[in-house]
Amino acid sequence: MVAIPLATTFLQSQSFLDVLYIVAFALFIQGLRGLSGPTTSVRGNRIAAVGMAIAVIATLLQRNEGNWGLIALGIALGTAVGVPAARQVKMTAMPQMVALFNGVGGGAVFLISWSEFRLTHGYQGTATYIAIFSLFAAIVGSVSFWGSNIAFGKLQEIIPGRPITLGSGQQIVNLVLFILAVAAGVDIAAGDHSQGIFIGMLVCAALLGNAVVLPIGGADMPVVISMLNAFTGLSAAATGIALNNPALIVAGMIVGASGSILTNLMAVAMNRSIPAIIAGGFGGGGAVAGAEGAGEHAGTVRSTSAADAAIQLAYANRVMIVPGYGMAVAQAQHAVRELTKALEARGVEIGYAIHPVAGRMPGHMNVLLAEADVPYDQLEEMDEANQEFGRTDVSLVIGANDVTNPAAKNTPSSPIYGMPILEVNNSHSVIVIKRSMNPGFAGIENELYYEPETSMLFGDAKSAVSEITAALADI
C-alpha cells in the first residue's frame, strides 16, 4: 500500500522526468548520427523514434497531466491521418509530403502559443521572456504553416507553379507585414493583453507566409522547403524555452540547424544569397533572361537520333547519367534504370552524377533513383562526379540544364558565374536529352549545347530514353 504511492511520486518527480527528456534528446542525436550512411540510417531513424516515444511518455507522466479524453482524441486523429499518408505517398510526391508535414508542425506551434496566451489571459503572471519566446514561436510557426501550405499547393499543382507576385511592391509588402507582426508581438510582450492584437499578429504572419512563398517558381522549391523546415524547428525550440522543456529545445534547435544547413547548401548550389531569398528576391531569373539575350552563339547544334545514341552508349566503357529536374518531372527514372541495366549487361560502367539541386527538394533525385533500384554506390555527389568526367566516355544529360552550363566556370559576365556545376563538358562526348532549344529555368543559353563533342536528342525524357533502350536491343 505504501509502495505504490511512493513509486508514483518517483515516476512523477520532475528530476525523473527531466532525465527521461535527456535520454530522449540523446537518442535523437544518436539517431541522426546514423543518417551519415545508408547502412546505419534505418536503425538511426528507429532510434530517434524510440527517443520520441520516451519524450511523449515522460510528458504523459507529468503530475498535473489530465484531460485524457482530449489527448486520446488528438492522438487518434493524428494517427488516422499520418499513417495512411506516410504509407501511400509516392516517392515523386515526397516534396509535397514534406511540405505538408512541415506545415502541420508549424501549425501545432502557433496553436500552442495561442492557447498559452488565452490560458494566461495575455501572459499575465508569466515572465516577460516566456511571453517573448511564445510570441516568437507564434509568428514563425504561423509563417511556416501558411508558407508550407502554399508550397504544398504549388507542388501538388493545386496552385499554379509559376511565380505569383505583386510586382515591384512585393518586397515592400513583405517588409510591412513583417514589421506589423513584430510590432504586435512587442506590444503584447510589453503588457497588452488584448486578444485582438494577438490574432492580428497571427494574421500578419499568415499573410507573410503566403507572400513569401507565392512568388516562388517550382524549380526554386528546394530552397523554400529547407527554409520552412528550419523555421518550424526554430519555432519548436522557442516553444521549448517558453514551456521550460529541454527535449523540445534540443529537438527544435537541431531541426533548425539542419534546415539552415540545407538552405545554405541549396542557396549556394543555385547561386543565390540567403538574405536575398528571405527578402523575397526570388524570380530574378526573368530579368536575367532579357538582359542576357540569345544569339550570342554562332556555333552549331548537332542533333542525333535514338539509334545513334544507343550505338555511342553501347561502345562506351564508362557512361555517366546526369539527371535533372526535367527527368523528375517526366518521371523517367524507371526508364533510365532500364537503360542502365541494359548497358551494364554489356559491361558498361555506370555512374549517376547528382547535382545538389536536382529534383524538387534536397536529395530528392537520389530517392527517386533509389526507388527505381539504382544501387547506392552508383550515385555520385557533385565533387566526386566532377573527378570522374575526365575518364567518362559518354555523359547522358537528361532534363538538366543550368547545372551543366560551363559558363558558370568560364564566363564571368554570366549571371550564373560561380555556381557549382557538373563539369559534363570534360567527358569525351555528351548526349543531351531535351525537349527543345529553349533556355532553362534561369533563361540562360547553355554553351554546352554548342560544344563540338555534344549532340542533342530532342524529345520527352521518358520516351527518348525508352527509344534508346529499344535501339540498344537491336545492336
Q: x/- string (CB under 8 A) for another protein, residues 84-123?
A: -xxx-x-x--x--xx--xx-xx-xxx-xx-xxx-xx----
CA distances from 178 to 143, 148, 316 (A): 10, 17, 56
Minimum CB separation of residue 403 from another protein in Å reads 13
Minimum CB separation of residue 96 from another protein in Å reads 12
% helix / strand / coil in the chain, to the nearest 5? 65, 5, 25
Nearer to another protein, 188 or 328 (CB): 328
Q: How many CA atoms lie within 13 A of 99 on its CB side?
A: 25
- The catalytically annotated residue of 220, 308, 373, 402 is 402
Question: 192 an active-site residue?
Answer: no
| Binds another protein (CB under 8 A): choice among 246, 281, 283, 459 | 246
Q: CA 454, CA 395: separation in Å to the nearest integer?
A: 9
Among the candidate windows 43-51, 213-221, 290-298, 405-413, which touches another protein by CB under 8 A?
43-51
Residue 225 touches another protein, criterion: CB under 8 A = yes
Minimum CB separation of residue 210 from another protein in Å reads 19
352 near 382, Cβ under 8 Å? no
Residue-level length of the chain = 475
Residue 48 touches another protein, criterion: CB under 8 A = yes
Q: x/- string (CB under 8 A) for another protein, residues 326-365?
A: --------x--xx--x--x---------x-x----xxxx-
Assigned C-alpha cell, 177: 507585414
Residue 239 touches another protein, criterion: CB under 8 A = yes
- Provide DSSP, 238-297: HHHHHHT-HHHHHHHHHHHHHHHHHHHHHHHHTT--HHHHHTT-TTTHHHHHHHH-S---
Residue 41 touches another protein, criterion: CB under 8 A = yes
Among the candidate windows 31-39, 177-185, 420-428, 446-454, which touches another protein by CB under 8 A?
31-39
CA distances from 184 to 113, 138, 189, 250, 407 (A): 14, 11, 9, 28, 47
Minimum CB separation of residue 447 from another protein in Å reads 26
Q: Which of residues 263-322 bind another protein (CB under 8 A)?
A: 265
Helix or strand or coil: residue 27?
helix
Minimum CB separation of residue 15 from another protein in Å reads 14
What residues are labeled active site? 402
